[in-house]
Amino acid sequence: MAIEVPENVVVTKLDELASWCRKNSLWPMPFATACCGIELMATGASKHDLARFGAEVFRFSPRQCDLMIVAGRVVMKMLPVLQRIWQQMHEPKWCISMGACASTGGVFDTYAVVQGIDRFIPVDMYVPGCPPRPEQLIQSIIDLQEMIQREGTIEGREFELASRQQTKRALVELPMYGRIPDGRTNDGRPMSQPIRNLKSEI
């Protein structure tokens, strides 16, 4: 039996409808720690006008956001803060790693700077540049919107994929220098163990 559908009715899947709603109202959480934050502000301001893509409302409370934009280098004192904020954000949530420092540590290959936030929190989009132009950040948000539309589900099943649970290759392959002191992180959890101990191999 055929069902008559009027012209002004669109038939779609619920997953796609949810993704369409989500992608067009991203609420960014600006985790701006360095000069990338200036470009992030420029992106949100009137000249580059992120409002055209439905993501202009920056909220400084993680509980009101679903897109974390990490803009700038993250030092080891800041990383527990970053993780806490990421945990406070509601599902579904996404993360953009903006700029060379957030993605890889950039030129700051020193004892205090985390060499890429993707070692410790999940990242969906990387933006190269030092700092990236606002156009690049907008492009990454457009790409993220496409990704949400393409694979999003109303129950968030896409986050359960094995590929999204994997530790980043860089973390596995990274040589560790020296011994890690025994101890606990700020919130009382045991520190992660070194993957490899380069010194003992030499």
Partner 1 sequence: MPANPATLAALTARFGPLPTSEFRGQTRVVVARDQLLEAMRLLRAELRFDLLVDVTCVDYLNYRDAANRFGLVYLLASTDTNERLTIRVYLNEPQLTVPSVIGLWKGADWLEREVFDMYGIVFDGHPDLRRILMPEEFTAYPLRKDYPLQGRGERHNFPVLTRREA
Unique residue bearing structure tokens 């010194």: 199
181 counts as binding partner 1 under rule CB under 8 A: yes
184 counts as binding partner 1 under rule CB under 8 A: yes
Distances from the Cα of 112 to the Cα of 119, 143, 164, 170, angstroms: 15, 32, 27, 18
8 counts as binding partner 1 under rule CB under 8 A: no
Binding mask 72-91 for partner 1 (x = CB under 8 A): ----xx-xx--x--xx----
What tokens appear for 33 in the block? Answer: 């720690």
Distances from the Cα of 88 to the Cα of 59, 134, 181, angstroms: 13, 27, 29
Phi, psi dihedrals of residue 72, rounded to the nearest 5°: 125, 170
**Residue pair 187/80 in contact by the 8 Å Cβ criterion:** yes
What tokens appear for 79 in the block? Answer: 């990383």
C-alpha closest to that of 63 among 37, 27, 33: 27
Binding mask 25-64 for partner 1 (x = CB under 8 A): ----------------------------------------
Q: Among 28-36, 40-48, 51-59, 177-185, which window interacts with partner 1 (CB under 8 A)? A: 177-185
What tokens appear for 193 in the block? Answer: 């163990």
170 counts as binding partner 1 under rule CB under 8 A: no
Judged by CB under 8 A, the residue of 8, 12, 46, 165 near partner 1 is 165
Q: Provide the 10 A C-beta neighbour count for residue 144.
A: 20
161 three-class SS: coil
By C-beta, is 121 or 147 nearer to partner 1? 121
How is residue 71 annotated by DSSP?
E
What tokens appear for 43 in the block? Answer: 């992106």
135 counts as binding partner 1 under rule CB under 8 A: no
Judged by CB under 8 A, the residue of 194, 200, 201, 202 near partner 1 is 194
112 counts as binding partner 1 under rule CB under 8 A: yes
Judged by CB under 8 A, the residue of 177, 200, 201, 202 near partner 1 is 177
Q: Summarize as ranges the residues that interact with partner 1 (CB under 8 A).
A: 76-77, 79-80, 83, 86-87, 109-115, 119-122, 159-160, 164-165, 167, 171, 174, 176-181, 183-186, 189, 191-192, 194
